[in-house]
Amino acid sequence: MKSKIIVTVSLLAASMLANAGIGNLATQQICHQTLTRPPNNNAVWNSPTTFLDRSLDRKVYRRDIVAYKIKWSTGWSDWFVKGVNDLDVVTQPSGALSSDVDARLMWIYFWDHEHMYIYCS
């Protein structure tokens, strides 16, 4: 009985993987990391109308950026993951009404800081 359960679970797992496309390399994205990029100098990065625009990467670089680093005067930041940990901590509400705070994404610093990023296609 024990061997039947193991075989059934194994077949079910293999079927789920095949249906999810996990084992199929043709369905997986290919990602690349850029070298250090100079400041972009494109004012769109630092515009209040685009502070929270998560599609700015596709508009400016024509790429889907999934993670990025910014070079500060003290060195490189940790990785910011788009949509996960990339809200600028300087502008996050801290007891103030959210309408009183201009929230923005960390990639606004692309306009005047060196940066690198990972993009997938």
Is residue 75 predicted with pLDDT exceeding 80? yes
Q: Give the CA distances from residue 40 to residues 18, 25, 63, 117, 121, in Å, rounded to whole numbers and listed in that order.
A: 42, 34, 15, 13, 22
How much is the pTM? 0.69
Coil/strand/helix, residue 94: coil
CA 64/CA 54 separation, integer angstroms: 10
- Whether the Cβ atoms of residue 31 and residue 119 lie closer than 8 Å to each other: yes
* pLDDT (tens digit per residue) in 10-24: 444 445 455 555 566
pLDDT at residue number 5: 41
Instruction: Specify the pLDDT at position 110.
Output: 94
Over pLDDT 70: what percentage of the chain? 69
Per residue in 19-49, pLDDT (tens digit) is 555 566 667 788 999 999 999 888 888 888 8
Between residues 41 and 67, which one has the greater pLDDT? 67
